[in-house]
């Protein structure tokens, strides 16, 4: 069966520091991969998605970036964190194709001080 792993579970970082969140999927090949942010108001904001290695689409311009160095690995990064980057970050995967449901990881709680 397929599993998705996200780490770390929680992270406290100072303003201006770099960020790297990692997500890996097991048990499937060539998945679509997604990064979401969930603020306190609980809506899910799509940040990036990827349909293949090296292919990244950005939904919202900001100081975050994403990379997909391997088929089942998705990384969210920042060179300099802002206070507004605080939130709950979720990685998700889906089978390639339309109308396929997404499956989420357990999330990373990021607090910027």
Partner 1 sequence: GQQLNQSPQSMFIQEGEDVSMNCTSSSIFNTWLWYKQDPGEGPVLLIALYKAGELTSNGRLTAQFGITRKDSFLNISASIPSDVGIYFCAGPPSGGSYIPTFGRGTSLIVHP
Nearer to partner 1, 17 or 96 (CB): 96
The residues facing 37 across adjacent strands are 45, 89
Helix (H, G, I), strand (E, B) or coil at 60: coil
Q: How far is the CB of 55 from partner 1 (least distance, A)?
A: 13
Q: Strand 10-13 relative to strand 108-112: parallel, antiparallel, unpaired? A: parallel
Residue 21 carries which DSSP code? E
List of residues contacting partner 1 (CB under 8 A): 6, 32, 41-44, 46, 49, 90, 92, 94, 96-107, 109
Q: How far is the CB of 50 from partner 1 (least distance, A)?
A: 11
């Amino acid at each position: 069966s397929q599993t998705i792993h996200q780490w770390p579970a929680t992270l406290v970082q100072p303003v201006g520091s770099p960020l790297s969140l990692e997500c890996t999927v097991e048990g499937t090949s060539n998945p679509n991969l997604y990064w979401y942010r969930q603020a306190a108001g609980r809506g899910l904001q799509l940040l990036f998605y990827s349909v293949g290695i090296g292919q990244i689409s950005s939904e919202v311009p900001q100081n975050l970036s994403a990379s997909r160095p391997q088929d089942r690995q998705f990384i969210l990064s920042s060179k300099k964190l802002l206070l507004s980057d605080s939130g709950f970050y979720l990685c998700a995967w889906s089978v390639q194709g339309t109308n396929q449901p997404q499956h989420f990881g357990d999330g990373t709680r990021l607090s910027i001080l």
